[in-house]
Amino acid sequence: MSRASKLTLAGTSLFAVGTVIMVHFQQKMEKEAMHQGVLRDMEQQRIKKERQLDFDMQRALEEEYKKGQTVRDTTDEAQVKPLPDP
């Protein structure tokens, strides 16, 4: 083989190996990024569930408190009674 063909073979071989290594590391980085996204989504779902449980508990407490109280609507009475003249 001539010197030019040896250099061409070496150059293309290095380029091919470099491309394979670059693609390998790029895929590894993308996989890690996707894993971080999954972890973030799972954390958001956990927080959403906690908030929903808190909301449900507050609603149940509100219903419990309303049972023990007498509440009447005063907005109807305010509309019926005229305001006194100054």
Return per-residue pLDDT of the chain as tens, 86 residues.
899 999 999 999 999 999 999 999 999 999 999 999 999 999 999 999 999 999 999 999 999 888 887 766 667 665 656 666 66
- pLDDT of amino acid 69: 79
Q: Is residue 36 part of a domain?
A: yes
Q: Is residue 44 part of a domain?
A: yes
Domain of residue 46: give its range.
31-64
**Count of domains observed in the chain:** 1
Q: Is residue 25 part of a domain?
A: no
Q: Is residue 11 part of a domain?
A: no
Q: Is residue 59 part of a domain?
A: yes
Q: Quickly tell me which residue has 């109280």 as its tokens.
A: 69
**What's the one-letter identity of residue 72?**
R
CA–CA separation, 42 and 70 (whole Å): 43
Any idea what DSSP says for residue 69?
A: S
Model-level pTM greater than 0.75?
Answer: no
**What's the one-letter identity of residue 26?**
Q
Q: Is residue 42 part of a domain?
A: yes
Query: What is the chain's percent helix, strand, coil content, to nearest 5?
Result: 85, 0, 15
CA–CA separation, 11 and 17 (whole Å): 10
